[in-house]
């Protein structure tokens, strides 16, 4: 992965690179409609919509322009070629695939098995199992750092599991709030933000010590989290209130509350914009991170939950 | 034990766990419920009835008994005993008299009350011409969140039950506020 080709993903947020953010296309997975929608950075319209299959939950982007979508109710992972909008195949997955992230080289996928309480490493080409390890109950959001360390939000175990992906071993568990769902790693990767759906707050983990150093009250149901490209802002969707809460990363003070659509869930940062999947409203809100205002609301297929910023177009040509 | 079983055996097992512990809050496929009704009364008059979080038995025909603690504020709770014998324990997240709106969520599931494992919902009263519109919408998960749910705990069963429950409630509210006999 070249440092000039950042992939920023949130909801299951992970941030691979900091400098010279070159915005890539945003992909939105609509679970109800089973469609994957592409929005070009800076554009307020839908560039393409791909019928993948009803039930797609979370989406991950590979470095080669491929998109991977979990199918928790259909024991599989759907693969889409972002360059051609073609649905390539459904990889088999023994379990209830939910959270997903691709390895830096794109050869492997890390997949959370919701019902099985496992993290599974599979081949991105064939779906063959390459390894697995136990995590907590109902693993939700995943995030992979640049060193190959992976964090899992164990929703029903009130903890984050920390995995060494080279050995597929759990290194630690970090107790957090109730109902941790989404994870966001800052660009320096020294802070992991955990959105706790049931306790309505955000746990801040110092990754160097694996300690929770602060808990920030958000209210309602925080369902997605991401950071701005410079790491200065933490953005949290509050599903109950229909807002994005903006927190100053240094002081952890509330900086703004931005109304978006109903039941916002996943949030991803792409350059100077944040994109928010409004699950109930079937739309994506675009937030300008300089003015902290919603600048567009783009209609998409029914039930958008997860979104990811794909490789920049140069990388996929 | 669950890890050692093939998926086909997990669904009934998960259902059993849900029925016995009702603590597995959440699955991977949320569903929408979205109901509304117009009422020939001013929004304030409608809010006076529906805005009392603990007073649901005053207007919802499916609710036999409603007991609250903590009042109309974030953190308030209500325990609803339904006429079907089930119980719903719900917590208030936000309550805003200015917007005439409140948001709440289910605590522990009771599949006898509603065949769903978790939900959150928002009820809002807004002006509509000379009268009011009440919108009640929510997000829920089916009763069995495993891969192969039995029919009575499927997405379809959850949708039917939640839509019926919301629809019955709004009809009851309309009848109550417009002065017609309560069921």
Lowest mean pLDDT among A42-46, B127-131, B138-142: A42-46
Say what the pLDDT of residue A207 is: 98
Say what the pLDDT of residue A313 is: 55
SS3 of B117-133: the string is EEEEEEEEEEEECCEEE
A221 with B105: Cβ contact below 8 A: yes
Q: Where are the domains of chain A?
A: 8-316
Say what the pLDDT of residue A23 is: 72
Q: For B92, name the nearest residue in chain A, comparing CA atoms only.
A: A220
Q: Where are the domains of chain B?
A: 2-177
Say what the pLDDT of residue B165 is: 98
What gap in Å lies between CA B131 and CA B42, rounded to an integer?
5
Say what the pLDDT of residue A2 is: 39
What gap in Å lies between CA A278 and CA A283, rounded to an integer?
5
Q: How far is A74 from chain B (nearest CA, A)?
A: 8
B93 with A221: Cβ contact below 8 A: yes
Say what the pLDDT of residue A41 is: 80
What gap in Å lies between CA A112 and CA A105, rounded to an integer?
19
Residue B81 clears pLDDT 80, i.e. is over it: yes
Q: What is the CATH number of domain A8-316?
A: 2.130.10.10
Say what the pLDDT of residue B27 is: 53
Q: How far is B178 from chain A (nearest CA, A)?
A: 29
Say what the pLDDT of residue A22 is: 58
Q: Does the CB of B168 have a partner CB in chain A at under 8 Å?
A: no
Residues A18-47 have pLDDT tens digits of: 434 457 899 999 999 999 999 988 777 899
What gap in Å lies between CA A137 and CA A156, rounded to an integer?
5
What gap in Å lies between CA B141 and CA B155, rounded to an integer?
7
Q: How far is B182 from chain A (nearest CA, A)?
A: 31
CATH architecture assigned to B2-177: 2-Layer Sandwich (3.30)
Sites in chain A below the pLDDT cut of 70:
1-22, 312-317
**At a CB cut-off of 8 Å and minimum separation 6, what does A111 contact?**
A70, A77, A93, A97, A98, A99, A100, A119, A120, A121, A122
CA B144 from chain centre, in angstroms, equals 17
Tell me the average pLDDT across B158-168. Answer: 97
Residue B3 clears pLDDT 60, i.e. is over it: no
Average pLDDT, chain A: 91
Higher pLDDT, B2 or B140: B140
* pLDDT tier for residue B180 given thresholds of 50, 70 and 90: low
What gap in Å lies between CA B138 and CA A89, rounded to an integer?
34
- Reported pTM: 0.87
Residue A74 has, within 13 A of its CA and on its CB side, a CA count of 16
Alpha helices in chain A (DSSP H): 313-316
B28 with A57: Cβ contact below 8 A: yes
Nearest residue to A114 via CA among A133, A132, A97: A97
Nearest residue to B159 via CA among B98, B115, B107: B115
Question: Considering only CB atoms, which chain B residues are within 8 Å of A155?
Answer: 25-26
Does the complex come out with an ipTM higher than 0.90?
A: no
Q: Are A235 and A266 in contact (CB under 8 A)?
A: no
Residues A226-261 have pLDDT tens digits of: 999 999 999 999 999 999 999 999 999 999 999 999
């Amino acid at each position: 992965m070249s440092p000039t080709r950042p992939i920023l993903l949130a909801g299951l947020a992970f941030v691979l690179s900091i400098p010279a953010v070159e915005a890539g296309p945003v992909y939105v997975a609509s679970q109800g409609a089973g469609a994957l929608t592409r929005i070009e950075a800076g554009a307020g319209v839908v560039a393409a919509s791909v019928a993948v299959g009803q039930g797609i939950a979370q989406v991950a982007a590979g470095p080669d322009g491929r998109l991977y979508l979990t199918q928790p109710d259909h024991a599989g992972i759907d693969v889409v070629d972002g360059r051609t909008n073609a649905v390539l195949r459904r990889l088999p997955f023994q379990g209830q695939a939910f959270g997903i992230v691709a390895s830096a080289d794109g050869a492997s996928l890390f997949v959370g098995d919701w019902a099985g309480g496992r993290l599974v490493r599979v081949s991105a080409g064939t779906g063959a199992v390459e390894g697995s390890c136990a995590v907590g109950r109902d693993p939700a959001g995943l995030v992979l750092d640049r060193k190959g360390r992976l964090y899992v939000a164990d929703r029903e175990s009130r903890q984050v599991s920390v995995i060494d992906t080279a050995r597929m071993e759990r290194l630690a568990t970090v107790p957090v709030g109730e109902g941790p769902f989404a994870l966001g790693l800052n660009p320096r990767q020294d802070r992991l933000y955990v959105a706790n759906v049931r306790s309505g707050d955000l746990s801040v983990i110092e990754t160097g010590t694996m300690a929770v150093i602060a808990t920030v009250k958000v209210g309602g149901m925080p369902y997605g989290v991401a950071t701005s490209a410079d790491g200065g802002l933490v953005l949290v969707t509050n599903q109950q209130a229909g807002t994005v809460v903006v927190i100053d990363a240094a002081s952890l003070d509330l900086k703004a509350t931005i109304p978006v659509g109903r039941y916002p869930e996943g949030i991803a940062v792409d350059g100077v914009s944040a994109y928010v999947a409004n699950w109930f409203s079937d739309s994506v809100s675009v937030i300008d991170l300089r003015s902290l205002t919603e600048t567009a609301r783009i209609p998409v297929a029914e039930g958008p939950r997860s979104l990811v910023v794909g490789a920049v177009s140069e990388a996929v040509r | 034990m669950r890890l050692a079983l093939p998926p086909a055996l997990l669904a009934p097992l998960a259902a059993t766990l849900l029925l016995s512990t009702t603590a597995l809050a959440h699955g991977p496929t949320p569903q929408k419920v979205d109901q509304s009704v117009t009422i020939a009364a001013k929004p304030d008059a409608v809010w006076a009835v529906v805005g009392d979080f603990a007073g649901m038995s005053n207007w919802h025909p499916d609710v036999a008994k409603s007991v609250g603690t903590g009042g109309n504020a974030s953190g308030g709770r209500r325990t609803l005993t339904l006429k079907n014998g089930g119980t719903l324990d719900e917590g208030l997240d936000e309550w805003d008299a200015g917007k005439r709106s409140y948001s709440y969520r289910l605590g522990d599931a009771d599949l006898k009350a509603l065949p769903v494992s978790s939900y959150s919902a928002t009820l809002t009263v807004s002006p509509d011409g000379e009268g009011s519109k009440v919108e009640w919408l929510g997000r829920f998960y089916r009763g069995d969140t495993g891969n192969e749910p039995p029919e009575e705990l499927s997405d379809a069963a959850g949708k039917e039950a939640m839509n019926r429950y919301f629809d019955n409630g709004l009809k009851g509210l309309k009848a109550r506020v417009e002065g017609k006999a309560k069921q």
